[in-house]
Chains A and B, each alone.
Chain A
Amino acid sequence: DQQVKQNSPSLSVQEGRISILNCDYTNSMFDYFLWYKKYPAEGPTFLISISSIKDKNEDGRFTVFLNKSAKHLSLHIVPSQPGDSAVYFCAASASYNNAGNMLTFGGGTRLMVKP
């Protein structure tokens, strides 16, 4: 039972355009969501997060939108740059979880930004 899903395994965009990465979840107890970026042979790097009490969080070129009723979040990257090419993971945590704030991850979306 996949509680966090990223239905697009890959996405290709032109440099300068917007990249939109999507994530869906099923567990209504999730109250904190994060996006991580991963380059090959490296660990995931934290990008941006959002609490369930908000519907938008912005940090520079990165904006995360949360739609709780649809159990959907998205990451917008504007403008996209070739250096953004990586695998992006959506992750979620629930305060009730005994395992601290263990993260449940989606399967990842590979973003390719073409010059």
Chain B
Amino acid sequence: GAGVSQSPSNKVTEKGKDVELRCDPISGHTALYWYRQSLGQGLEFLIYFQGNSAPDKSGLPSDRFSAERTGGSVSTLTIQRTQQEDSAVYLCASTPGLAGAKTQYFGPGTRLLVL
């Protein structure tokens, strides 16, 4: 079936603007993760959703970042009042959410550039 999809693939915005990034997980996957990769860095965990449970937001770098997941499927990551240090590749991953299903499948990412 289809893999994880993300949109837009690229986003250029001006400092101070809000942006929304979208993730469509693999059909049937109940667990969804957001990560970001800044230039020259490894991937950094941001937030985790499992089914209808409250998300784990422990990785969000500031209160300008928020995410929601509607209907247990599509997720939107919102960055308010963007800063230049928010420039990164934002990656979404999903898993079946079953015990032992630890392999995460990633989307292609959204490349965000804040000018």
A41: chain B residues at CB < 8 Å are 108, 111
Q: Which of B45, B95, B103, B109 contacts A104 (CB 8 A)?
A: B45
Stretch from A55-63, A66-74, A76-84, A92-100 at the B interface: A92-100
CB-CB under 8 A from A34, the residues of chain B are 102-104
- A43–B104 contact, CB under 8 A? no
A44-B91, A100-B56 given as contacts; is B42 within 8 A of A106 (CB)? yes
- The smallest beta-carbon distance between A5 and chain B, in angstroms, is 9
Q: Does B4 contact A (CB under 8 A)?
A: yes
Q: A20 contacts the other chain (Cβ, under 8 Å)?
A: no
Q: CB distance B48 to A100 under 8 Å?
A: yes
Query: Known contacts A41-B108, A46-B104, A46-B105; is A102 also within 8 Å of B42 by CB?
Result: no
**Contact yes or no, B108 A102, CB < 8 A:** no
Q: Scoring B residues 73 to 115 as 1 if CB is less than 8 Å from chain A, else 0, what string do you get?
A: 0000000000000000001010101000011111111010000
- State which size class the interface on A falls in: 20 to 34
B48 — nearest CB in chain A belongs to which residue?
A: A99
A6 contacts which chain B residues (CB < 8 A)?
Answer: 42
Q: From the candidates B42, B50, B91, name the one contacting A100 in the complex (CB within 8 A).
A: B50
Contact B106 A45 (CB under 8 A): yes
Docked-complex contact B42 and A108, CB < 8 angstroms: yes
Does residue A25 face the partner (Cβ distance < 8 Å to B)? no
List 12 interface pairs A-B (beta carbons < 8 Å), by A numbering. Answer: A34-B102, A43-B93, A89-B42, A99-B45, A99-B56, A99-B58, A99-B59, A101-B102, A103-B33, A103-B45, A106-B42, A108-B42
